[in-house]
Amino acid sequence: MIDTADVTGVILAGGRGSRMGGVDKGLQNFNGLPLALHTLLRLQPQVGELMINANRNLAAYEAFGAPVWPDVLADYAGPLAGFLTALERCETPWLVTVPCDTPLFPIDLVARLKQAVQDEQADIAMAAAREDDGQLRNQPVFCLMRIELMESLVKFTQDGGRKIDAWTALHKTVVVPFDAPGDDARAFFNANTLAELHQLERS
């Protein structure tokens, strides 16, 4: 069994927040806490170590008590830049990635991803969830991965790759559905606008 102490969690807060008018998404309030702090507190019991990937307002993120690392790739290169940054800093055998804008993600997220990589002897476990149209869709920013994949990701990004799915397809990846009875249908709803964030608070 992969131990909790064997997993480092990274909160991905390095985006431009362009759909929120350019504000720093991770610092927007959700139920009285900055989104990224809410995410950190939800992830903390599920992992052994934590870090935050952010590209601005670094002092504000550092105040949350976890190490903060800016992208190792220039120009807001997307979530894979956060993956790569965290893999370079990770000191445990496994890394799990969680975005800062999905505050209701499951409290058993890491446990179920760990179980799946063990059962399938996989390199990566990726969450999937049902969306409003009833389709089960991958949630590629929710990934558990072996840190040995760093070299592969370095090469992929150096070759210009930016899509998570295109990179995970190069490795043995197990998709883990979070659509069992009792799973929250809103668990993977990500707030891209301030209106969506307020709507999620009210729900």
What is the pTM for the complete model shown? 0.94
d(CA 14, CA 55): 5
pLDDT by residue, tens only, the chain of 203 residues:
899 999 999 999 987 665 666 678 899 999 999 999 999 999 999 999 999 999 999 999 999 999 999 988 776 568 899 999 999 999 999 999 999 999 999 999 999 999 999 999 999 999 999 887 888 999 999 999 999 999 999 999 999 898 999 999 999 999 999 999 999 988 999 888 888 888 888 87
DSSP state of 6: G
Please, what's the b/e burial string for 162-200 (b: 16 or more CB within 10 A of its CB; e: otherwise)?
eebeebbeeeebbbbebeeeebeeebbbbbeebeebeeb
Domains contained in the chain, number = 1
Rg (CA), the chain: 16
β-pairing verdict for 124-130 and 136-146: antiparallel
Nearest Cα residue to 8 out of 52, 39, 42, 65: 52
pLDDT in tens, 51-98: 999 999 999 999 999 999 998 877 656 889 999 999 999 999 999 999
Tokens 């809410």 sit on residue? 38
The CATH number given to whatever domain includes residue 124 is 3.90.550.10
Q: What is the domain range of residue 117?
A: 4-202
